[in-house]
Each structure stands twice: as C-alpha cells, then as structure tokens.
C-alpha cells in the first residue's frame, strides 16, 4: 500500500511540474524570439534506509531544464528596427541585472539613454561585448553581418555612419546552453561563448516564439487527465488502507 501511494504521488508531482512549464510557454507565446521550455529530465529513486531500498520513491531532476532550439516563425514587418537571425544563432545582450547572455529577440529600439536595446530593455552588445550607442538619426540600416549604419540628423543627407556591429554567434554543436534562473540563455557554466559573427542577420524581419499553441494546449489536456488519474489512485489507496485497518480491528462486544 505504501508503494502504491508513493508511486502515485511521484506521478502527480511530475505532472504538476509539466503543467508549470506549459503555463510558462503559453504565457510567452507572443514574446519575440522566446525559446520553448522543455520538461526537465529525471528519474525515480528509491529511498535507502539501513543499507536497503525502501518502497518510498522520489522524483529526482537531472540538472537544469532545457529549451527548444527550433527557429520560430519569421514575420516580415519591414520595420528598420526589427531584426532576426536566419536559421540558427544568437545575439548578445546585457540584461538590466545579470551577466551577458544570448538572445533571439530582435525588436530593437533606441533607449532614452541612446543605447540600442531590445523590447525587454536589454542592451544589445557589439563584437567587443560592449553596449552599442546610437545617436539621433534620420534612418538606420543593419547589414546581414550585423553592421549598424545610421544617417545622422546633424550630418548631410545621405551620409552613412557605422556606429557598431551586432555581435552574433552560432554555437558549437557540442556546447550545452541552458536557461538560468533569470530566464536568460548562457552555457552550463553561466558564461557566453565568444562571438564568431557566423549568423545571418535579417533587417525588417521579426522572429516570433517557437511555442506551438495547439501542441501546448493538447499536451495540457492530456497532462490534466493524467493528473486527475493520479489523484484518484491516491484516494483509492487511502480507502483501501482504511478498509484494511477496519477489517483488522477487533469486533465490538
């Protein structure tokens, strides 16, 4: 009976964690460049007591949860400040709080401080991993290698000035990338790889999240049903245990 209860409880715990991940994905479905979170890998372990395995099983997670590297839908907006990376690769950002990180978000804007930022307020970094300052301008052009050219408002018409180059990288296939507690992408050591400028930058294009709403909703329904089954098993085990205890009691005189 103890084994049945703990097995069912372990299953319920797994489904609860899965639903939290699904809720996170659905909440960020409209965030440009968002990478879909995946369920953490793990396994069940039996508690050892007095050098022997007990019937109590617990779910143990293996490391930090991963995320999907699949590209999101590319939407042509024809907006000069919208950029996206074709296929694979990442931009470099400096979040408001935290170390440098990688990102696919490309809804750029000029902050009130003159720095080039994305829609989340993170500063975009150049090839030296330094913030890019963008002076007042009439127009802006971003090349396929990330070079940022502007036509300054104080210069003659048609003048083109290079103000920086967006740092990009296509990481080595063997490099493990994870999302930290702040939701930002870094290596499993908490650092970022050096830029290699191998990614192709598209101007006037914005990448959406790679979350599939239909898939998430269907999975959520299946998870909810499995969760309910697990709860029914726990209640059934409770009833069986109570019935067994009642059957062993001495009859009243």
Domain identity same for 114 and 63:
no
CA atoms within a 13 Å half-sphere pointing along the CA-CB vector of 79: 13
Domain identity same for 178 and 162:
yes
The CA–CA distances, whole Å, from 144 to 106, 112, 227 equal 14, 26, 48
Instruction: Quote the pLDDT of residue 215.
Output: 82
Cα–Cα–Cα angle for 124, 126, 127, nearest 5°?
A: 145
C-alpha 137/C-alpha 71 separation (Å) is 32
Q: Are 81 and 107 in contact (CB under 8 A)?
A: yes
Instruction: Quote the pLDDT of residue 228.
Output: 72
> Lowest-confidence range among 38-47, 155-164, 195-204?
38-47
> Lowest-confidence range among 30-34, 143-147, 183-187, 216-220?
216-220
Residue 187: phi and psi, rounded to 5, are -75, 170
pTM of the model: 0.77
Domain identity same for 113 and 194:
yes
The verdict on residue 230 lying in a domain is: yes
Choose among 2, 8, 1, 36: nearest CA to 234: 8
The CA–CA distances, whole Å, from 81 to 78, 161, 205, 208, 222 equal 9, 16, 9, 15, 41
Q: Are 123 and 202 in contact (CB under 8 A)?
A: no
Q: What is the pLDDT of residues 226-241, one digit of tens each?
A: 767 767 776 777 676 6
Answer whether residue 37 shows pLDDT above 70.
yes
CA atoms within a 13 Å half-sphere pointing along the CA-CB vector of 194: 2
C-alpha 15/C-alpha 61 separation (Å) is 13
Domain identity same for 177 and 220:
no
The verdict on residue 253 lying in a domain is: no
Domain identity same for 160 and 193:
yes
Residues in the chain: 253
Domain that holds residue 165: 74-207
> Lowest-confidence range among 28-37, 58-67, 93-102?
58-67
Domains: count for the chain: 2
Domain identity same for 15 and 132:
no
Domain identity same for 97 and 152:
yes
Burial (CB count within 10 angstroms: exposed 0-12, middle 13-18, buried 19+), residue 193: middle
222 contacts: CB under 8 Å, gap ≥ 6:
none
Domain identity same for 167 and 242:
no
The verdict on residue 35 lying in a domain is: yes
Per-residue pLDDT band at 223 (split at 50, 70, 90): confident
Domain identity same for 219 and 152:
no
Residue 59: phi and psi, rounded to 5, are -85, 125
């Amino acid at each position: 009976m103890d084994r049945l209860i703990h097995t069912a409880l372990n299953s319920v715990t797994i489904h609860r964690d899965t639903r939290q991940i699904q809720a996170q994905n659905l909440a960020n479905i409209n965030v440009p460049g968002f990478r879909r979170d995946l369920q953490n890998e793990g396994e069940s372990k039996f508690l050892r007591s007095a050098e022997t395995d007990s019937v109590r099983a617990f779910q143990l997670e293996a490391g930090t949860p991963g995320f999907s590297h699949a590209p999101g839908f590319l939407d042509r907006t024809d907006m000069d400040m919208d950029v996206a990376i074709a296929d694979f690769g990442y931009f470099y950002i400096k979040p408001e709080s935290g170390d440098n990180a990688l990102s696919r978000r490309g809804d750029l804007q000029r902050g009130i401080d003159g720095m080039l930022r994305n829609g989340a307020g993170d500063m975009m970094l150049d090839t030296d991993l330094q913030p890019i300052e963008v002076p007042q301008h009439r127009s802006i052009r971003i090349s396929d290698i990330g070079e940022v050219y502007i036509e300054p408002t104080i210069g003659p018409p048609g003048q083109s000035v290079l103000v920086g180059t967006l740092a990009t990288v296509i990481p080595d296939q063997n490099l493990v990338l994870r999302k930290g507690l702040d939701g930002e992408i870094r290596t499993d050591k908490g650092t970022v790889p050096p830029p290699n400028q191998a990614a192709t930058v598209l101007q006037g294009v914005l990448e959406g999240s790679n979350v599939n709403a239909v898939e998430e909703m269907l999975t959520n329904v299946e998870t909810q049903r499995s969760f309910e089954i697990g709860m029914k098993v726990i209640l059934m085990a409770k009833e069986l245990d109570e019935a067994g205890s009642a059957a062993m009691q001495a009859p009243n005189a």
